[in-house]
Amino acid sequence: MKYSIKTGAVNNIITDCIVVVVWNKGELSEEAKLADKLSDKSLSKIVRTEDFTGKLGETLTIYNPAGLKTKRLLLLGGGDDKKLNSKNAAKMLKAGLDAANKLNAGSVHFCLASIEVKSQNSIWICKRLAQETETASYRYNETKSKKAKAVATKLISIFPASGTRRKSIELALKQGAAIGSGINRARHLGNLPGNICTPSYLASEAKELGDKYNSLTVKILSEKQMSRLNMGSLLSVSAGSAEEAKLIIMEYKGAKSDSKPHVLVGKGVTFDTGGISLKAGAAMDEMKFDMCGAASVIGTMATVAQLKLPINIVGLVGAVENMPSSTATKPGDIVTSMSGQTIEVLNTDAEGRLVLCDVLTYAERYKPRSVIDIATLTGAAVATFGSHVNALLSNNDALAGSLIECGENSLDRVWQLPLWEEYQSLLNSNFADIANLGGPRAGTITAACFLSRFTEKFKWAHLDIAGSAWDSGAQKGATGRPVALLVEYLSQQKV
């Protein structure tokens, strides 16, 4: 998509579609008023019929509006102008883009100069428009013989609020577009089936990114190399699979090479059958999405490389397939993690933590400023939060606070659960240092407690994205969360 800034009067803009906002009860925004005046009060007339009331997300197209040089004028409902917070503004933009896409408009101009979003500066809406534009143009095509039609829109222009520098608006558009494309990359990987998106496939996708960006170095460790590092826990998960496990290491350098990095760790279980503790059949296909944490790390690394963030960042992905077979790990088996701690595998379906713990230990070598792991870790997180909010657990309150705030700004929200001492004893084992199962209750917390045994050497936060990583039902598909949150967090870090 191409983006441009156009600050000409609305009657001089030549484009396929102009978008103006109309508030609740048909109250015209400044731009809509101007269009109304130029077009012989055609907007006022429509609003008076109450066919269009300006409800949030409502749209109506006027063809060949008099007095304007556009083929279409799209009225976009903004709802109550006093209630236009970031969430409603994003919803409004998305509705406008979806409507414009249906119209086959090659170029679309958004008149947003008078639109104020609560507790955001005037740049925010430009950034969000670009992000929404990218995500609205995503289509899944890879394994379909009949490809979905690509969106017709090729050019988005914007009339931003006055008083903002052109440079900062251009930057905001770039940032938003890069975030959107990172989200789409994560969705693409998440949506691919398990027989295509294997650990080796994820590794080659990461490698390709490394080839594309000079600032990004990608290394892949084989099972043999991981076994030399004593990653007995991670390897116990792939023991039953014919697919080789991979440790994907993506090192992004945006600062001096001795500057300590921030580290992202993604759970990349490309299919989770449960292993010998086999899952029930219903909706098991959705366990192809069990690598969405990994996909969000890869998507985020692509975005930060595109944006040339001035810090160092390492993305690590533990990529494995969890299968039952005669070589699979069995309940009761005891494995030794890279940290030296022994683990009793009481349930082979609690495999995510077994993968993550070794990758987290590997992260120690970077002496990281912070480590965030992202994982579709527990069904309990879905039960707790549904699909809107991700679970956050952390050993550092400042880090947790900053992630909560970034979640608000990016509309990719997280909420904290306690990581209190009382829960730790649920992981006691009679035969090993720790069990991989904390019993039937407080599953998201006990899973994080398990990880906390491997993260004592750094500031760490865990995001359980089991509820938000994909949608089920008719709209089944990966969401690309929490790429927006991660990019927001990394963008705020200074060297």
Q: Which stretch binds ligand BES (CB under 6 A): 38-46, 224-232, 377-385, 397-405?
A: 377-385
- Total residues contacting ligand BES by CB under 6 A comes to 16
Q: How far apart are CA 435 and CA 343, in angstroms?
A: 5
Residue selected from 466, 483, 484, 490 as contacting ligand BES according to rule CB under 6 A: 466
Minimum CB distance to ligand BES, residue 436 (Å): 8
443 is a site residue for ligand BES (CB under 6 A): yes
Q: How far apart are CA 21 and CA 79, in angstroms?
A: 9
Is 453 a residue of the active site? Answer: no
List the x/- string, 150-179, binding to Zn ion by CB under 5 A.
------------------------------
332 φψ region: left (φ > 0), alpha (ψ -120 to 50), beta (else)? left
Q: Which stretch binds Zn ion (CB under 5 A): 84-92, 344-352, 416-424, 465-473?
A: 344-352
Residue nearest to ligand BES (CB): 379
- Total residues contacting Zn ion by CB under 5 A comes to 4
Burial letters 372-407, b for 16+ CB under 10 A, else e: bbbbbbbebbbebbebebbbbbbbeeebbebbbebb
In the window 281-300, what residues touch ligand BES (CB under 6 A)?
290
For residue 448, the one-letter residue type is A
136 vs 323 by CB, closer to Mn ion = 323
For residue 293, the one-letter residue type is G
Minimum CB distance to ligand BES, residue 333 (Å): 15
Minimum CB distance to Zn ion, residue 241 (Å): 13
Q: Which stretch binds Zn ion (CB under 5 A): 226-234, 268-276, 381-389, 408-416?
A: 268-276
Q: Which residues would be at the binding site for Mn ion (CB under 5 A)?
A: 272, 349, 351
**Please, is 159 exposed, middle or buried when counting C-beta atoms within 10 Å of its C-beta (0-12, 13-18, 19+)?**
buried
Residue selected from 65, 293, 352, 467 as contacting Zn ion according to rule CB under 5 A: 352
Strand, helix or coil for residue 112: coil
Q: How many C-beta atoms lie closer than 10 Å to residue 59's C-beta? A: 20
Minimum CB distance to ligand BES, residue 346 (Å): 9
The packing angle between helices 86-102 and 124-136, to 10°, is 40
Residue selected from 193, 340, 379, 386 as contacting ligand BES according to rule CB under 6 A: 379
Strand 370-375: give its sheet, edge to edge: 216-221, 246-253, 312-322, 262-272, 370-375, 460-464, 390-394, 414-416
Selecting among 55, 87, 174, 279, the annotated active-site residue is: 279
Minimum CB distance to ligand BES, residue 443 (Å): 6
Selecting among 72, 91, 127, 353, the annotated active-site residue is: 353
Q: How far apart are CA 259 and CA 455, in angstroms?
A: 21
Minimum CB distance to ligand BES, residue 320 (Å): 11
Is 279 a residue of the active site? Answer: yes
Q: Where are the alpha helices (DSSP H) in 84-149?
A: 86-102, 124-136
Q: How far apart are CA 158 and CA 81, in angstroms?
A: 20
Tokens 């295509």, residue located: 196
In the window 381-420, what residues touch ligand BES (CB under 6 A)?
382
What residues make contact with Zn ion under the rule CB under 5 A? 269, 272, 290, 352
Which residue ranges make up the site for ligand BES (CB under 6 A)?
272, 290, 347, 349-352, 376-380, 382, 437, 443, 466
Active site residue ranges: 279, 353
